């Protein structure tokens, strides 16, 4: 692999799946993009060491995992406090960027799962992803991380315990059957959510929320709320759903294989509806159980139009 063009053709086919791997490690889409590029740069620099005994894909995963671990060490990563979705660096992952040729189980890309993984120390995080998400044998994971099989087995047991503590009870099994399409309930709730915003209908929105709703607006770490009542009061005090408030228009979309609505706001001094926020919804029995809002202004990688 001495020719740069030939090398690029070989590794490029793995970009999307490596990017998902880096995202699971880092919970940040832009960092995952950067680390995937860093993986290819390291692979090119180490190309003479690739002896072909392992598959190219396996070799690239090894490089990507260690690149992420180096990144986390430089970031001085610490296990965050157990506060659910309060993770300021969390970013949504656009479904359009998911690999088409590799099945990405919905349960291993949803926001709650990604957040739960961040509660694992970096090396334990890597073990868990390699073993339980990618399905690698202990010996292969140990080789990639330069650990013993016994160390990998011990780390995996600890990681599984933490994941069970961090994931909501209704999703304690993160290896349930893969689903890609939204359910009828999810589609209906998104339509109703959009309709409530466009009609400035607070009662209509409140009727969609479970009483035990978890709401977070990122990257602001101070807005995590538990309970529909607190969330509604926060929206009202923030100026939404008031007479004469900003005009909203919305688009349905999906990120992290989850239903989402993109909000566009038109202020009195603007002729256009401008990209504002994205609400990612977790729907349970026809109600919104978790709502994670993201500031999506200046996020071109989401592929959203800037104005409507």
Same domain? For 75 and 205 the reply is no
72's enclosing H/E stretch is helix 56-74
**Range with the poorest average pLDDT among 72-76, 118-122, 131-135:** 72-76
- Report the CATH number that the domain containing residue 254 is assigned in CATH: 3.10.450.50
Same domain? For 29 and 76 the reply is yes
Model pTM greater than 0.85? yes
Same domain? For 296 and 189 the reply is yes
Neighbours of 183 (CB within 10 A): 12
258-266, strands of its sheet edge to edge: 225-226, 209-218, 287-295, 274-284, 258-266, 247-255
Q: Using 50, 70 and 90 to split pLDDT, how confident is the model at 176?
A: very low
Q: Using 50, 70 and 90 to split pLDDT, how confident is the model at 214?
A: confident
Q: What is the pLDDT of residue 246?
A: 66
Question: For residues 245 and 255, what is the distance between their CA atoms, to the nearest angstrom?
Answer: 28
Place of tokens 């919305």: 250
Tell me the residue range of the domain where 51 lies: 4-171
Which comes out higher in pLDDT, residue 238 or 133? Answer: 133
**Range with the poorest average pLDDT among 40-54, 110-124, 132-146:** 40-54
Q: Using 50, 70 and 90 to split pLDDT, how confident is the model at 174?
A: very low
């Amino acid at each position: 692999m001495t020719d740069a063009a030939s090398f690029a053709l070989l590794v490029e086919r793995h970009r999307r799946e490596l990017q998902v791997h880096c995202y699971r490690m880092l919970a940040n889409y832009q960092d995952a993009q950067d680390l995937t590029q860093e993986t290819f740069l390291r692979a090119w620099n180490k190309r003479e060491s690739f002896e072909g005994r392992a598959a190219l894909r396996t070799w690239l995963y090894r490089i990507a995992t260690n690149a992420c671990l180096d990144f986390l060490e430089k970031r001085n990563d610490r296990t965050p406090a157990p506060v659910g979705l309060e993770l300021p660096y969390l970013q949504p992952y656009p479904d359009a960027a998911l690999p088409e040729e590799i099945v990405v189980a919905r349960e291993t890309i949803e926001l709650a799962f990604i957040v739960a993984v961040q509660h694992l120390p970096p090396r334990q995080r890597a073990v868990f992803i390699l073993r339980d998400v990618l399905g690698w044998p202990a010996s292969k994971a140990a080789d990639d991380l330069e650990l013993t099989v016994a160390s990998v087995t011990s780390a995996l047991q600890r990681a599984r315990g933490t994941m069970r503590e961090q994931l909501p009870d209704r999703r304690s099994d993160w290896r349930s059957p893969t689903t890609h399409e939204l359910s009828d309930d999810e589609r209906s709730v998104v339509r109703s959510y959009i309709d409530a915003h466009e009609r400035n209908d607070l009662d209509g929105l409140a009727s969609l929320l479970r009483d035990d709703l978890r709401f977070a607006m990122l990257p602001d770490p101070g807005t995590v709320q538990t309970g529909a009542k607190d969330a509604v009061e926060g929206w009202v005090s923030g100026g939404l759903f008031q007479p004469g408030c900003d005009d909203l228009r919305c688009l349905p979309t999906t990120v992290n294989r989850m239903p989402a609505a993109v909000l566009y706001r038109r202020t009195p001094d603007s002729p256009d509806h401008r990209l504002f926020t994205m609400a990612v919804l977790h729907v349970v029995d026809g109600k919104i159980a978790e709502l994670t809002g993201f500031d999506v202004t200046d996020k071109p990688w989401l592929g959203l139009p800037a104005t409507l």
